[in-house]
Amino acid sequence: MDTLALTAEALREPWRLWTGHLVHFGWEHALANAVALAVPWILAAPRNRRRLALAMLVLPPLVSLLLLPSLGGGEYRGASGLACALWALAGLRLAGQQGSTPVGLLMLGGLGLKLGAEAAFGGSFLLHPDGWQTLTAAHRWGVLLGLASALPPWPRPHPA
């Protein structure tokens, strides 16, 4: 097992909550995740990139903690959960912006199709090299956390 991958040891070695998203099953896996992470950055409005940057710091340990029960003694490597979170975050923000609504809806629709296909096929429907394992729970948790982080902050009370 990789010393940086997300495993049950993350409760005793908390750095794994972040580093599990940095290690991959090979260069193809890393490249696929890099492309998936780049798309929301490219499509997001400049004013929304600060929220994406904050999400890149806050969401990895949250996704990791939610994944721990799904590991079953195994490990998680990759940033697919984080990529799904950024797609959901950027998609929902774009869907609410005039002029960017179709792009946002396409992103959200693509995520919906991905999650639906994974549910229908019982796992990843894409071919990938040997040894590359997909944890579909990462995608589900990523989308849910991304949608939650796209919501506007609570309104601040104004003094009377």
Render pLDDT for 44-77 as a digit per residue (tens, 0 to 9). 888 888 888 988 999 999 999 999 998 888 888 9
Residue 118 lies in a domain: yes
| Full residue range of the structural domain in which residue 46 is found | 27-70+80-126+133-150
Rounded distance, CA 136 to CA 139, Å?
Answer: 5
The residue-averaged pLDDT of 89-106 equals: 89
> What's the pLDDT at 50?
87
Answer yes or no: are the C-beta atoms of 147 and 86 closer than 8 Å.
Answer: no
Residue 90 lies in a domain: yes
pLDDT band at 122 (very low <50, low <70, confident <90, very high): confident
The domain total for the chain is: 1
**pLDDT, mean over the chain:** 86
> What's the pLDDT at 154?
59
The residue-averaged pLDDT of 103-120 equals: 92
Whether the per-residue pLDDT at 19 is higher than 60: the answer is yes
Residue 88 lies in a domain: yes
Whether the per-residue pLDDT at 128 is higher than 80: the answer is no
Answer yes or no: are the C-beta atoms of 49 and 41 closer than 8 Å.
Answer: yes
Whether the per-residue pLDDT at 151 is higher than 90: the answer is no
Residue 36 lies in a domain: yes
pTM of the full predicted structure?
A: 0.86
Residue 117 lies in a domain: yes
Amino acid at 17: L
Residues 6+ apart with CB under 8 A from 47: none
